[in-house]
Structure 1
Amino acid sequence: MQIQDLPYPDPGVPDARSGPRFLVWLGRNQLGGQAKALAWGLLHFMSVSGLPFCVGFAVQAVVDRSGARLGMAGGLMALCGVGIALGDSMLHRAAVTNWITAAARVQQLLARRTALLGSALTRRVAAGEIVAVSTGDVEKIGWFVEAVSRFTAAAVTIVFVCVALVVYQPALGVVVAVGVPILALAVLPLLPRATRRADFQREKAGHATELASDTVAGLRVLRGIGGEELFLDRYRRASQEVRHAAVRSARMWALISAIQVLLPGLLLIVVVWHGVNLARDGRITVGELVTVYSAVMLLTYPLRHFEEIAMAYSFSRPSAKRAARVLSLERATDGEGSREAVVPAGDLYDPATGLLAPAGRLTAVVCGDPDTAGVLAERLGGHAADSSELPSALVGGVPLDELPLDSARSAVLVQDKDPVLLSGTLRELLDVPASGDVSPEEALTAAQCGDVLDALAQGSLDAADPMDARITERGRSLSGGQRQRLALARSLITDPEVLVLDEPTSAVDSHTEARIADGVRSLRQGRTTVVFTSSPLLLDHADRVVLVHEGEVAAVGVHRELLHSEPRYRAVVTRETDDEAAAHELGHLPELEEIEETA
């Protein structure tokens, strides 16, 4: 795989059982690139290691006054120089290719998993953690994959040089062969502590990223309550914790680097001292002493790759662990599906609560707990994270977890209470997979977006048509009610068999809410629609109202009947307190019709 061939047609199925297994899986999928980088790395390191022998050969040729051997040594040195330059250039090219392709594979896997899980992902993994995994962690994983080939080439070169020195000059070669493994393994006792500090730093950095992401997302609210300084102080403290953790981690890696400099220096002193004594005794020549000295000095270059691979693995292991955690998350329904790829039609039924939404009708669901409503809405769409414990929702008697992913999403569309608007023009926002039966104009009218179009047209200097006006990231330039209405229009255009809306009008005024209720009822005529709400205006337009209390259906009827007959329903819809309920039972409060009109 080359960079120009990206993205991958299929990034594969990762081994996400653990971080190390995921790294091994990445390596196996890049054997060709790793082999290419290893070959160029061997050429580079072997050429570097050949220079000491050429230098020693040249020195001995000068001592022996041999011009032919001196010329031969010069030619060999030139050949080593070419090998060094060519090998280094191509090694860098191959290694960077491995880095980028590995990072691209991980990013594709994360994007595919994000699309598969949908809104269930952010309930199981913090948004800041997802951002950290898809940015910084991807780079660290790519760094380790890229460093493996260089480390392997360096290790093979060191073994080759040690064996060559033992054969070339046993008296000094044995000292080098014994000392080099000690140099390579000397830092191993420090690696666990360095890894723990790197993990701690990454944890603090992830927390700071999550805090910054949440602060930016809620900036409008923070300004409204004057909480900018409070959250800024929190981020300052989190940032300082990251700095302290980074300094502690850097100190440990500085100690490892110092040892990697100190020990080769000590080995060089031992070799020189022993070699000088051997040369005085006439047991080795000056050229042999220079060769061994130069070889030991240049061995510090490939030895540094032992430190790099240790650092790369220490930083990439927790990153791979986090990436594997995200990639191991499963969708509530089966992505492949055990049934044919057809979109079922019929009643929507949730066995866990007993909720039934008849086909072709508008059903309103009232829950006292908003969090329960959100979880139930997601489960109706087949996105809930707890499907292993609760049965799947059914459409027309077909379990959603037995449908292929595309069919399940075509059957049921869930719009949560905080829908996201992607940046781009309004035309691009509404360009979604749709049945074609609902036009953008009809959807915008039903969602009462007339004033939103006017605001977009006035705020855009270069767009004559409001559909060409640009919407900023997450619709931050719009009010909460405007975002809700545009998101509702987008859902209406899709025109799914079943549409589930979670508090679609919580941020709009009552007059607009009444018109939206009429528009949705009219546009969704003959389609199954489920609305989670406690608004009397929406409830009064529903064909059927279901009260869910403590995870079960507690009452079914129409809005006005339930107001009279069900105290728990009345308490949620009218915000009635216990004292008011008792007073109502005694007849000390106005009639329900009055309360309802006021609501």
Structure 2
Amino acid sequence: MPRSTHHPLHNLWRTRSYMRPYAALYVWMILAGVVTTALGVALPLIVQRVVDGPVLHGDDRGLFLLGALALALGLVEALLIFIRRWVQANSALRMETSMRDDLYRHLQSLSVSFHDGWQSGQLLSRATTDLAIIRRFLSFGLIFLVLNTATAITVVALLFDLYWPLALVVAASAGPLFWFSQQFTRRYNAAARLMQDQQGDLATVAEESAGGIRLIKAFGRREHMAEKFTRYARDLHDTAVGKALMVSRTWAKFDAVPNVTLAVVLVGGALAVARDRMTVGELVAFVSLQLMLIWPIDALGYIIANAQEAMTAADRFYEVVDTDPAITDRPGAAVLERGDVGGEVRFDNVRFAYPDAPAEVLRGVDLVVRPGETLAIAGVTGAGKSTLVSLVPRLIDADHGRVLLDGRDVRDVTLESLRTVVAVAFEEPILFSMSVRENLTLGRPDATDAEIDEAIDVVQADFVRTLPWGLDTRVGEQGLSLSGGQRQRLALARAVLTRPKVLVLDDPLSALDVHTEALVERALTRVLTGTTAIIVVHRPSTVALADRVAFLSDGVIAGVGTHSELLATNPSYAAVLSAAADDAGELAGEGAR
């Protein structure tokens, strides 16, 4: 995974763009905070007047009036605090939602290769934990950093006004605090980054364990996976404990400084009163004001820690957001009109290599699929069949050469319009944790019940009608409540339902039994009439769907023709199909036993 090369503060500063819509609210929050601080500062000064006035002279009426004023100021302060906190939480949660929406939207625009290279848990932690950390800083840490700084400056100024020698002592205490914060910041940033990365790793292990629970149970690896999870959890625990210890030590130092300073002030203030350099009311006000500094100083440790975590979280957020989509619309890309698409697909000297691969997978493929034709792509495992068909809907892009749809480079049309006329069904079916109906209509939300029923009949998926709630039954995460063959049929029905001009099928019948496969093939033959279909095949029975077969070998098309023609003229094709037939026969025999 990439790491940001910017200063940790840089990406946190960039999050201000999400604050702009709420700039007016932030101004009002700060103004409310300033008024609240002013009211808080006013109370010690009122106490000074009470002690040096009514208390000293026994004026009960003056004491009552000053007490009423203090109560009124306290109520106003409480109301302002409520309003500020509510506005803070509301605006920060809306910012977090905006950031999460942008992150998710950007993830959808990134290529399949990006997602192949990232752990799902790392992406999940960025969309949840990291954004929550940023929100806490923007809603609490940032506001209180401003308000506490303003409070400290105001209080120290008043202390100098009351009695400057003791005020110098209070001001001097900022030196140790600054030094402690510098030491803390350097160490805490690395610990925060490590902990947030470990949270992502732990989320990945948990997510993969949940998704692969059948495999774990089948191989009896429950203890192994439990040990792995415990190891990751222990690493996270140790890092969190070390981070907490770091915070505790620094917080204790921050707490000790004002307490030592207070002791010096009390002794020095008592001597000043005894020598008539201060009144008792001034000493009480001085100490009360100094006590107001304890919270800002105590909060300093939390704010610094929160800021460090927020900087790390912003780094991790922008690591994803700054990744440019590898597959995008070209400038001036045209919108494909469904009615204008004939369905001819042409591969023109197509070459492709995966990053860090030792050699090209496709080394100059030239192939034409005629409109309405069903073409099978055959070849040994690893020949590049799935890679070739993935070029049509632009799940990947060719390094060299072109893929043409009706003579137009697929990169010259918008992705959205291309994928409305090209449908794909993968060998490994992907279903979402939602109802059968929602899964089927994913590519065509406006499909009617009659059209859904027709697609279900084509792929022999009648089983959905016997589910507890029929089409409204939720299939569970990844559709694991269904068998492999059931999932594959639903994925195929989803592709058929879109009524595409070009249908790409990547060995879509591999999980079906022989009888069901024959029924689906006959139905597909009827449905594919008028649709250009490219089918990756791994076993001979699927070849029956095709009008022609293209044999892919060593990165190039080594032969094109009917199944019978290739069997007669291409020994390599005959050998591949023969081996596949033997494997299929063995599997059928094992199933019979």
- Does residue 51 of the first structure (1) align with residue 76 of the second (2)? no
Which of residues 410, 426, 435 in structure 2 aligns to 1:425?
Answer: 435
What code does the residue aligned with 2:458 have?
A: A
Take 2:119 and 2:383, find their aligned partners in 1: how far apart are those partners?
A: 17
SS in structure 2 opposite 1:394?
strand
Return 394-403 or 480-489, whichever deviates more: 394-403
8 Å CA contact 1:570–1:576 kept in 2: the answer is: no
Aligned residue in 1 for 2:519: 515
What code does the residue aligned with 2:333 have?
A: R
Aligned residue in 2 for 1:414: 424
8 Å CA contact 2:441–2:447 kept in 1: the answer is: no
- Does residue 171 of the first structure (1) align with residue 165 of the second (2)? yes
Which of residues 479, 487, 491 in structure 2 aligns to 1:475?
Answer: 479
Aligned residue in 1 for 2:404: 394
Shift of 1:62: 4.9
8 Å CA contact 1:382–1:393 kept in 2: the answer is: no
Matches within 5 A, 1:210-249: 210-249=204-243
Distance 1:487 1:82, change over 3 A: same
Matches within 5 A, 1:60-139: 60-62=52-54, 64-65=56-57, 67=59, 70-117=63-110, 119=112, 122-139=115-132
Matches within 5 A, 1:320-359: 320-335=314-329, 338-343=332-337, 345=341, 346-350=343-347, 351-352=350-351, 353=362, 354=365, 356=367, 357-359=369-371
SS in structure 2 opposite 1:540?
helix
8 Å CA contact 1:430–1:490 kept in 2: the answer is: yes
8 Å CA contact 1:117–1:383 kept in 2: the answer is: no
What code does the residue aligned with 1:412 have?
A: V
SS in structure 2 opposite 1:64?
helix
Take 2:10 and 2:506, find their aligned partners in 1: how far apart are those partners?
A: 36
Take 1:376 and 1:329, find their aligned partners in 2: how far apart are those partners?
A: 25
Distance 1:363 1:38, change over 3 A: farther
8 Å CA contact 1:172–1:292 kept in 2: the answer is: no
8 Å CA contact 2:383–2:554 kept in 1: the answer is: no
8 Å CA contact 2:425–2:505 kept in 1: the answer is: yes
8 Å CA contact 1:107–1:138 kept in 2: the answer is: yes
Q: TM-score, normalised by structure 1?
A: 0.84
Shift of 1:336: 7.9
8 Å CA contact 1:500–1:531 kept in 2: the answer is: yes
8 Å CA contact 2:192–2:308 kept in 1: the answer is: yes
Shift of 1:487: 1.0
Shift of 1:227: 2.6
Deviations 1:429-483 (A, max 9, x none): 3234448698222211221213x23xx61x51xx4xx334442232121011110
Matches within 5 A, 1:186-585: 186-335=180-329, 338-343=332-337, 345=341, 346-350=343-347, 351-352=350-351, 353=362, 354=365, 356=367, 357-370=369-382, 372-384=384-396, 389=399, 393-434=403-444, 439-450=451-462, 452-453=463-464, 457=466, 459-460=467-468, 463=469, 466-570=470-574, 572-575=576-579
8 Å CA contact 1:103–1:142 kept in 2: the answer is: yes
Take 2:401 and 2:288, find their aligned partners in 1: how far apart are those partners?
A: 71
Return 467-476 or 154-163, whichever deviates more: 467-476
Distance 1:244 1:482, change over 3 A: same
8 Å CA contact 1:102–1:145 kept in 2: the answer is: no
Aligned residue in 2 for 1:5: none
What code does the residue aligned with 2:394 have?
A: G
Distance 1:561 1:51, change over 3 A: farther
Distance 1:375 1:178, change over 3 A: farther
How many pairs align? Answer: 558
Aligned residue in 1 for 2:5: none
Shift of 1:263: 1.6
Deviations 1:149-199 (A, max 9, x none): 232122222222222222333222233233246435632221221121121
Distance 1:173 1:516, change over 3 A: same
8 Å CA contact 1:444–1:489 kept in 2: the answer is: yes
Aligned residue in 2 for 1:4: none
Return 68-77 or 360-369, whichever deviates more: 68-77
Distance 1:63 1:74, change over 3 A: closer
What code does the residue aligned with 2:505 have?
A: L
SS in structure 1 opposite 2:35?
helix
Take 2:564 and 2:226, find their aligned partners in 1: how far apart are those partners?
A: 48
Shift of 1:549: 3.8
What code does the residue aligned with 1:137 have?
A: D
SS in structure 2 opposite 1:380?
coil
Shift of 1:392: 6.3
Aligned residue in 2 for 1:146: 139
Distance 1:316 1:162, change over 3 A: same
Aligned residue in 2 for 1:587: none
Distance 1:167 1:336, change over 3 A: farther
Take 1:273 and 1:122, find their aligned partners in 2: how far apart are those partners?
A: 65
8 Å CA contact 1:497–1:527 kept in 2: the answer is: yes
SS in structure 1 opposite 2:15?
helix
Shift of 1:407: 1.0
Deviations 1:359-393 (A, max 9, x none): 32222223544594444443321233x67x55664
8 Å CA contact 1:17–1:328 kept in 2: the answer is: no
Deviations 1:214-264 (A, max 9, x none): 111111222233233322221122222221121111111212221221122
8 Å CA contact 2:443–2:494 kept in 1: the answer is: no
Take 1:79 and 1:545, find their aligned partners in 2: how far apart are those partners?
A: 88
Take 2:251 and 2:579, find their aligned partners in 1: how far apart are those partners?
A: 66
What code does the residue aligned with 1:56 have?
A: Q
Return 514-523 or 96-105, whichever deviates more: 514-523
Shift of 1:492: 0.6
Distance 1:398 1:129, change over 3 A: farther
8 Å CA contact 2:126–2:317 kept in 1: the answer is: yes
Deviations 1:50-88 (A, max 9, x none): 332222332222563163654453244223312331122
SS in structure 1 opposite 2:377?
strand
Segments of 5+ residues of structure 1 without an aligned counterpart are: 1-15, 578-589
Shift of 1:514: 3.0
Shift of 1:547: 3.3
Distance 1:34 1:521, change over 3 A: farther
Take 2:36 and 2:532, find their aligned partners in 1: how far apart are those partners?
A: 68
Shift of 1:93: 0.3
Take 1:325 and 1:347, find their aligned partners in 2: how far apart are those partners?
A: 40
Among all aligned residue pairs of Structure 1 and Structure 2, give the percentage whose two residues are the same amino acid: 25
8 Å CA contact 1:49–1:299 kept in 2: the answer is: no
